Amino acid sequence: MPSHSPESSDPSSENSALIPKQVKVVLAVLVSTAFIMLLNETTLAVALPAIMEDYAIPAETAQWLLTGFMLTMAVVLPTTGWLLERFTTRSVFVFASACFLFGTILAAVAPTFAVMLAARVAQAIATAVIMPLLMTVTMTMVPFQRRGTVMGLIGIVMATGPALGPTVAGAVLSFTTWHGIFWVMVPLGAIAGVIGTAKLTNIGEPRSTPFDLLSVLLSAVAFGGLIYGLSTAATLASGGAGGEASLIALGSGVVGLGLFVWRQRALSPHGRALLNLEPLANRNYTLSLVVLVTLFGAMLGVVSTLPLYMQGSLLVSALVAGLVLLPGGLLEAVLSPIAGRLYDVYGPRPLIVPGMLLTVGSLFALVFVTEHTSVIFIIAMHVVFSVALALLFTPLMTTALSSLSQPLYSHGSAILSTLQQLAGAAGTAAMIGVYSGVTATAEARGSSEPAALAQGASSAFLVATILAAVALVLSFFIKRLPRDLAPTTSPTQ
């Protein structure tokens, strides 16, 4: 496989916009593997009660199977830029596949909670590696004129994988124990791994980049502390236990992040940075990144707040609350590849600006929810919100990474994936924190519980609307890259 950037080919040639069959096979393998891993990421939530009973552990302990997964990803993701640069594409894929398969089998037979937690850590390492690998391979192998289409297909994986996880787990639990959830994943992961090992070819030449242990330790403190602190910060607003630990983790994370950035800037001139921060000097990349992570935070915050509001204020069942979010999720999966094809033809702005307007409008409409709001209205607004996300995620990811030169693809993907994790934790913490705080204040003033919960949800949606409005303003400054001249150096304009 040639190591030069696809942009270096003649864009006027008809063949330059075609994706070779070999490339399609590679992408199909990577997309399938990523789908399996993202599907696995969310399967465990519905199985926690059964796991708690089997291991005789409280909910606070069992929750570490979810929190530990998230923390592991936060620590590993910043290292993937170095990993993809240092080792061959095939060896990185084999490592991720083997790690996932090992973790899945270990989880299926785990005799104790400690073994189960170790298995989830192994799965999280694999998941953290596979998504940056997929995006880097896509950016390197797919012609500039077809990137939006392919990234749209990746958007399906990112939208449907996590969304279907609880459904698949629930179906498995209806006829077997929680161990079956992992046994279902074993053959899927094994098949993807075998096919990928046989078909995947190396892209470019690995560089002998030194491994900086101090950067890894600082990364663990920075991103692990921030993710843990943000994920548990809602306890501060609700008066629950753990608030002090959240503050300590957040403080450690902020200090660690500052030291991590300092270390990378010091090592970058010598080519030794664990995570090259040079992509952030690219104006178009950074603007797209800020808008993208803001949306990601708003999305996870909304998805976390809506079920709480519907069950507590509208008094619907958990099943109904879950089904309310299904139409929007399915529509987003359908529209993502269409948005990708439109991006290839019209560029980012005709999709991003209307998408941001729909985002702000739908979130602002949710600000006016009460305890008497119709469920149909909630479904309609979530559908509009999901349509907006479909118009936004693919163009923003493609524009961000296409703004970089080929040597920076792996580091740009690592930065993007890491900040998505942080944004998801921050968005959820902010909205749940506001929801809990306003609800408690309203109840103290004499409001009924449904009315108080509705006020809390309204305030949370207002926070999301303000963040989306800021992202809307920034979206007007995102530029389209010329179809006939993708960058061969890292632009800073």
Does the pLDDT value for residue 446 go beyond 60? yes
Q: 277-335: per-residue pLDDT in tens?
A: 889 999 999 999 999 888 888 887 887 788 888 888 888 876 677 678 778 878 888 88
Would you say domain 18-207 falls under CATH 1.20.1250.20? yes
Q: 132-150: per-residue pLDDT in tens?
A: 888 888 888 888 777 777 8
- Looking at residue 98, what is its pLDDT? 94
Does the pLDDT value for residue 200 go beyond 90? no
Q: Please state the rounded mean pLDDT for residues 204-230.
A: 82
- The CA-CA-CA angle for residues 104, 63, 414, to 5°, reads 65
- Looking at residue 355, what is its pLDDT? 93
Q: Please state the rounded mean pLDDT for residues 331-351.
A: 86
Mean per-residue pLDDT of the chain: 82
Does the pLDDT value for residue 481 go beyond 50? yes
Q: Do residues 80 and 129 lie in contact, with contact meaning Cβ atoms separated by under 8 Å? A: yes
- Looking at residue 159, what is its pLDDT? 67
- Looking at residue 147, what is its pLDDT? 79
Does the pLDDT value for residue 435 go beyond 70? yes
CB atoms inside a 10 Å sphere around CB 265 = 12
Does the pLDDT value for residue 201 go beyond 80? no
Q: Percent of the chain, pLDDT > 70?
A: 88
- Looking at residue 16, what is its pLDDT? 44
Q: Which of 70-79, 96-105, 266-275 has the highest mean pLDDT?
A: 96-105
Q: 51-71: per-residue pLDDT in tens?
A: 888 998 886 788 788 778 888
Both tokens assigned to 441: 């204040």
Q: 103-127: per-residue pLDDT in tens?
A: 999 999 999 999 999 999 999 999 9
- Looking at residue 359, what is its pLDDT? 94
Does the pLDDT value for residue 491 go beyond 70? no
d(CA 386, CA 384): 5
The second-level CATH assignment, the architecture, of 280-493 is Up-down Bundle (1.20)
Which of 322 and 421 is assigned the larger pLDDT?
421
Q: 236-262: per-residue pLDDT in tens?
A: 544 555 567 778 888 999 999 999 999
Q: Please state the rounded mean pLDDT for residues 20-45.
A: 82
